[in-house]
Chains A and B, each alone.
Chain A
Amino acid sequence: MLQQLFTSFIAAAAFGIIFNAPKQSLWKCGVIGSIGWGVYYYLYYFQELNIIGATFIASFMIAVISQFFAKWYKTPMIIFSVAGIIPLVPGGLSYDAMRKFVENDYNQATQLAAKVFMISGAIAMGLVLAEVINQVVKQSTIQRYKQNVGD
């Protein structure tokens, strides 16, 4: 588990370099990548949760923390979320699917491709849910502010 956290930290920070993120935000990318991957790894390998569920929760966590960081450091959220999302992308499965296609095993290949599609959907839904929560929180704070001001 520890080596997973460490490698995911390095990988996410390296992705920050590839996307040319500012130097001072590289370690934050690393932290987010490491948290996201840690959540995924724990749920998938230790709790034996379905891979789609694990991906969903991990991407949700990444989006929430990125929003928090974006507010805190006053930088666009995209810097943080991108590096965190990358490890969750089902690279291995889509590779397997591609390989089965090449080997003319279309039944297996379409099954794997459908799974890839579901996992990508889970990543997207995790991001969506975090955004929804963000908007709800924002709305309620604005309303509270208006009530306090009294108009």
Chain B
Amino acid sequence: MERNESKTYDVIDVCLLAGKIMLMCGAETYRVEDTMMRMAAAYGMEHSHSFVMPTGIIFSIDGKDPTKLVRVTERSTDLSKVTKVNSISRQITAGSISVQEAYQQLKAVDEKKEMYAGWIQTTAAAISSGCFLIMFQGQWQDFFSAVLAGGFGFICFLYMSKLLQLKFFAEFSAAFVIGIISLLLVYVGLGNQIDKIIIGSVMPLVPGLLITNAVRDLLAGHLISCLSKGAEAFLTAFAIGAGIALAIGFAI
């Protein structure tokens, strides 16, 4: 009996850890719930209930004692962790690893920081800014200005989001920097079309993941998650717009 109970605890811990990692790294809410319930079912807990919101997870196994709550405060985007947890959960449902092994593997995934280095991310953002400029019918001679503005904007975004715990200020300041740099470049004569340069450089900040997640959560019937993620996306977009507007406001 005692052994049984401790097993329940272990299973709950494993499920919660997996759910927490997925939620923190930007997986859809319905996928988190689905994964947790599948994992519990694979360990013989057929009737489990998980309730996931963008800010926390409540998980309980039917008829058993503990119901646990995990609070998720930080949310970032790390799709490689989502993929790894997904493959671990596949192994669990296939029955090929035990509870302890799963817990250790998940713990390893949780602790490992495998982000691309900051300069690689910045370079990627800068180059994508230039590419977006071309995609939005800009001229090739503005390519370099967009790369510069996008790169500096993204550096500002990375730095600000590390420095401050405020949610929307990083986007706001990054957009502001982009606006100022583009205005300067056009003023100096390096850039031609100020509109295209700004649009291209702002694109790396766009909350694309939130938008797609909000829609997919809505389809799965998670109205609360959809609304809160939609609000987050809207506020992020608004912060970007406000930053640009402020920069242009100085110029007019």
Which A residues have a C-beta under 8 Å from some C-beta of B?
3-4, 7-8, 10-11, 14-22, 25, 37, 74-76, 78-79, 81-82, 85-87, 89, 91-92, 94-96, 98-99, 101-103, 120, 123-124, 127-128, 131
Task: Give the contacting residue for B199; candidates A82, A85, A95; CB below 8 A.
Answer: A95
Q: Which residues of A contact B208 (CB under 8 A)?
A: 15, 82, 85-86, 89
Report the nearest A residue to B114, measured CB to CB.
A20
Residue of A at shortest CB range from B242? Answer: A98
- Return the CB mask of B177-217 against A: 1 if under 8 Å, else 0: 00000000000000000010011001110101101110110
Instruction: State the Cβ distance, A106 to closest chain B Cβ, in Å.
Output: 14
Q: Please, how many angstroms separate the alpha-carbon atoms of A19 and B78 in the complex?
A: 6
- 9 tightest Cβ-Cβ pairs between the two chains A and B: A14-B128, A14-B124, A11-B131, A17-B124, A7-B131, A98-B241, A86-B208, A11-B128, A21-B79
Nearest-CB distance from B85 to chain A (Å)?
9
B141: Cβ under 8 A from any A Cβ: no
Taking a contact as CB atoms under 8 Å apart, the answer to whether B209 and A10 are in contact is no
The docked-state distance in angstroms from the alpha carbon of A76 to that of B31 is 9
Contact B79 A22, beta carbon cutoff 8 Å: yes
Taking A14-B125, A79-B83 as given, write out 16 further A-B residue pairs in contact, using a Cβ cutoff of 8 Å, ordered by the A residue number: A15-B208, A17-B116, A18-B204, A20-B80, A20-B114, A21-B79, A76-B31, A76-B86, A78-B31, A78-B213, A79-B79, A87-B203, A91-B132, A95-B199, A101-B245, A128-B215
Indicate if the CB atoms of B135 and A7 lie closer than 8 Å: yes
| Bound-state Cα–Cα, A21 to B97, Å | 25
Number of A-B residue pairs having CB atoms within 8 Å of each other in the complex: 146
**B232 CB, min distance to chain A CBs, angstroms:** 15
The range of chain B's interface size is 35 or more
Complex CA gap A4/B140 in Å reads: 12
The distance in angstroms between the C-alpha atoms of A74 and B91, with both chains bound, is 12
Judge whether B170 is part of the interface by a CB distance below 8 angstroms: no
Q: Which of B124, B199, B219 contacts A131 (CB 8 A)?
A: B219
B195 touches A95 (CB 8 A): yes
Residues of chain A lying within 8 A (CB to CB) of residue B159: none
Docked pose: A94 CA to B233 CA in angstroms = 14
Are the CB atoms of A37 and B135 closer together than 8 Å? yes
User: Given A19-B79, A98-B244, do A128 and B203 touch, yes or no (CB 8 Å)?
Assistant: no
The minimal Cβ–Cβ distance linking B206 to chain A, given in whole angstroms, is 5
Q: Determine the residue in chain A with the shortest Cβ distance to B115.
A: A20
Choose among A3, A89, A99 the residue that contacts B206 (Cβ–Cβ < 8 A).
A89
Q: A78-B27, A98-B245, A102-B249 are in contact. Are A86 and B83 (CB under 8 A)?
A: no
Q: Which of B135, B199, B245 contacts A11 (CB 8 A)?
A: B135
Query: Measured between alpha carbons, how far is A99 from B252 in the docked complex, in Å?
Result: 11
